[in-house]
Structure 1
């Protein structure tokens, strides 16, 4: 957000608001699809924060480069085959860190069965949201939080949501 400091005194409420007007390029009108996506993205940032957060694809590639020479092809293959959560926001590709093994940066194996359930019914953005939002099948915990302690419960929640969405 861009803040403009005014050198003269503020004499009206309109002038006060003008001094702190958000830049329209970064703050779309609240009723636009862009605004809705921005709010969802902020919710995902918050939802993934405790599990390592979100990263742009170029950041993930830098880490993968340390572990593999075919890092670009490797990540591209995972994205195309939907072996990792990956979505677009503001012309950037984003990936949650939780899904990568901390030692060899491969996708977490327990995610495979969950992706098998959800990728036929969710697009990449919806899949990313599913992991970051409280889920009633998981006592309103998020799947990303629950995955560390009970991957079987996350798989069952994915199966239940698949059944509901497909039904």
Structure 2
């Protein structure tokens, strides 16, 4: 029996997964493109672990309620309003926790700005994967690693990736 997920309420374009572009942005190292979705998810689990990890939205609602004075619906509003991104894998909605400030559990503006650069050309799964992949324009580091030292550089890398995937280039 089918059980609807939270992401069912989002437009299909915002929740569907498509394989990464066979032509990564100039300077991007895209060794993950040939991997299946499950293998990419496992790589993301490992990459996000030192940065707060990945959490299922349904479990995050409970823990978020305990940490801030926000109703559980607020998390869904953040996703809907593109303050944070979440993606679907194995019938569950997942969210990288680095998007929330650890002290307040509120969305980080720097991450929101970077994700907004990618939204037109990357689906939510691809955005989550993008943060974990090495990029030549970031010295071979992933945006997740470089964000703390060079948020402007990561914004520019996102813009470059989006432009490389755009059909209007």
RMSD: 1.5
SS in 2 for 1:103: coil
Match of 2:96 in 1: 96
| Residues 68, 105 of structure 2: 8 Å contact kept | no
Partner of 1:21: none
Q: Larger helix proportion, structure 1 or 2?
A: 1
Tell me the equivalent position of 1:44.
44
> 5 Å matches for 1:41-120?
41-120=41-120
Task: Compare CA radii of gyration and give the structure with the larger one.
Answer: 1
TM-score by length of 2: 0.73
Q: Secondary structure at the match of 1:95?
A: strand
Superposed CA deviations along residues 120-158 of structure 1, whole A, max 9, x for unmatched, are 111111101101111222112111111122111111101
> 1:122 corresponds to which residue?
122
Match of 1:17 in 2: none
Match of 2:24 in 1: none
CA contact (8 A) 2:82 2:112 kept: no
**Contact persistence 1:82–1:119 (CA under 8 A):** no
Gaps of 5+ in 2: 1-34
Q: 2:136 maps to which residue? A: 136
Unaligned ranges ≥5, structure 1: 1-34
Determine helix, strand or coil for the equivalent of 2:37.
helix
Partner residue, 2:20: none
Deviation at residue 40 of structure 1 after TM alignment: 0.8
SS in 1 for 2:114: helix
In structure 1, the residue corresponding to 2:140 is in which secondary structure? coil
Q: Which runs of 4 or more aligned residues in structure 1 lie more than 6 Å from their structure 2 counterparts after TM superposition?
A: none
SS, match of residue 36 in structure 2: helix
Determine helix, strand or coil for the equivalent of 2:131: helix
